Structure 1
């Protein structure tokens, strides 16, 4: 129960906090860091995935040791009447591997089962009474005040299934939107792990955050049955609700007078249209490890505010998705998008669309009526 002392306290051992800790352990080993996680392990219960183009080659040192599965042959999408294979390699990071790697890299610089009760100017107090002196700290505990943002929601339930016979899926299926459209844009996401093991995730771009986990699990079972798969065991389950941000007030989400630095979703560091956070988590961690610890709150807020401004285009697309397209017709927007050039698609997911990309996405025959799109832009959904 002794008090502790460090140079940098990282609060929250999810993706963002864990990557920051790994970056400092590798590139600034002389900095005394402490990663504080309230659960008994880091990384939660997740599978994070990314395309090769999402992470710059110069930053791959941070994520390559974490990759638990890689599909070098590319991936596939499926829509009614249309399928396409893209050759961009795809990678996944599973929570157990993430947890094991963070533990090995940090050793006694990882503190699990520790919930923060109070954050002072240069110290933390845990619920068990321990005090941690830290001249610099960064808060990476999930989302901030989402009431400050206008959101749709990407929500999902995923299960890793062990099958009686081979499933026959050779590479990831990023979107199988040939399924019934329920509760917004619905698709099934498939990651083959081995010949008889596959991760199946049922995902929705929905107007509301309510998640019917039991009902969605039943749909996963029905999907498996429709594929002719006999499920022997559900090895792993996970679920989540991600904000798809189409507007809001950044200054209310992260007040300018907040004295604590932020990272991850709490800093608004994700692709607004997809809720996809891994590329930004990697970029932020590799940026942060090069920064002085003094003045961290202001520096990280400036970084996040710049990211917010750059995300305006994606928020406009989100506004059209949720405001202009009927829920059961939203798949048409994605089907049209996936007919565009592979490089454009890749840059979109990485949050690095060029001006030409942005024009091209909006050009041509629109999948929603122009009148509805303009109404959505001028009258954003609540």
Structure 2
């Protein structure tokens, strides 16, 4: 029986889009088909990363996807304002679609959801069946009993203002805003002197999102900033996982041998929720895979997910301190305390590459949460939590 593709990438989001792009570069011999249930590849998102998150080689192949880049960024807290001399970059969904579509051409199928999936085939809602040597599932985060999560939820609005807004560089955390529903901050990305993305973001215990309330908060923030009149270009919202604990083996077993990537495989920074660096690493990994059978890809991707989970146990411990050791309205103090540290340590934190000395230094000094509460959180038993 003839196959429709060598590899079907189910889901056209960040993880599978990057895999498709990288395979087109490194494995042009493979026939790759992207199947996205939504109307457009990449959806409606802005993905960002710090320069230190990617290797030089990764920066090179990702560069065509980058829609904006800055030399530094700011953070703002009630008791601390600081500029970090670390580069920062963003990838827009629009740019993502444009570049990847130019590479893949007609090998992108959109607008038809999958209704049945196996490791070698996909049945679509229009009753078409597609077959391949392997299917990789990259359809995004889903509820799982095997992950203990907090949530990073946000509403973002991109504006074109009638006059310059005056924001010269990204502000990745402005926590000088009123604290509510956990740790709250506003995130700013200036795409031009008059174009600005403004996001109202919360590290919250619940994964619900009141869009109308957040629109009001953004309007209040814009009025206080005196940006003046403008045109709303687009709006995006999301709820990202923040990992507190979990059982990675059970999560992998639940996939039933299906090669899986992205948020569903716990491949995101546990504390920041950033997913682009992990997606880049996995795209490189898949492009070097010697065996593209379902069994070969599952072994490769599952081993990678287990290693990443084990390496990042420290971040999950920090997250438990953030979510459980103090009052919700005081959570910002932990991030304020952290951003006192040297630029290079902060860069390694965002890249999830802390060494032992970094880990000690982060916890050194006067704790920003009650000591007894912190000890209680650290001493709590977490069933099946992998190291």
- List alignment gaps of at least 5 residues for structure 2: none
Q: Distance in 2 between matches of 1:379 and 1:204?
A: 25
Q: Distance in 2 between matches of 1:57 and 1:121?
A: 34
1:43-82 maps to which residues of 2 (within 5 A)? 43-72=42-71, 74-82=72-80
The range that moved more, 272-281 or 18-27, is 272-281
Partner of 1:147: helix, strand, or coil? Answer: coil
Match of 1:167 in 2: 165
Match of 1:42 in 2: 41
Q: In the alignment, which of 145, 148, 153 is matched to residue 146 of structure 2?
A: 148
Match of 1:360 in 2: 361
Q: Structure 1 residue 4: deviation in Å?
A: 5.9
Q: Structure 1 residue 108: deviation in Å?
A: 1.5
1:81-160 maps to which residues of 2 (within 5 A)? 81-160=79-158
Q: Structure 1 residue 370: deviation in Å?
A: 1.8
Contact 1:54–1:279 (8 Å) recurs in 2: yes
Q: Structure 1 residue 117: deviation in Å?
A: 1.5
Match of 1:193 in 2: 191
- List alignment gaps of at least 5 residues for structure 1: none
Q: Distance in 1 between matches of 2:216 and 2:174?
A: 17
What TM-score comes out, normalization by structure 2 length?
0.95
Q: Distance in 2 between matches of 1:380 and 1:274?
A: 24
Alignment deviations for residues 194-246 of structure 1 (CA, whole Å, 9 cap, x no partner): 11221100101111111111100110010000011213211110000011111
The range that moved more, 91-100 or 60-69, is 60-69
* Residues 116, 259 of structure 1: alpha-carbon distance in 2 compared, 3 angstrom cutoff: same
Contact 2:245–2:382 (8 Å) recurs in 1: no
Q: Structure 1 residue 160: deviation in Å?
A: 0.7
Q: Structure 1 residue 18: deviation in Å?
A: 0.2
Q: In the alignment, which of 206, 215, 218 is matched to residue 217 of structure 1?
A: 215
Match of 1:20 in 2: 19
- Is residue 2:162 matched to residue 1:184? no
Runs of 4+ in structure 1 over 6 Å off = none
Alignment deviations for residues 115-173 of structure 1 (CA, whole Å, 9 cap, x no partner): 11212342221121111111111100011443321111111000011223211111111
Match of 2:375 in 1: 374
1:288-299 maps to which residues of 2 (within 5 A)? 288-292=286-290, 293-294=292-293, 295-299=296-300
Partner of 2:373: helix, strand, or coil? Answer: helix
What TM-score comes out, normalization by structure 1 length?
0.96
Q: Structure 1 residue 188: deviation in Å?
A: 0.5
1:233-272 maps to which residues of 2 (within 5 A)? 233-255=231-253, 258-272=256-270
Alignment root-mean-square deviation, CA: 1.6
Q: Distance in 2 between matches of 1:119 and 1:81?
A: 52
Partner of 2:157: helix, strand, or coil? Answer: strand
Q: Structure 1 residue 381: deviation in Å?
A: 9.3
How many residues align? The count is 379
Q: Distance in 2 between matches of 1:68 and 1:209?
A: 29
Q: Distance in 2 between matches of 1:95 and 1:209?
A: 24
Partner of 2:105: helix, strand, or coil? Answer: helix
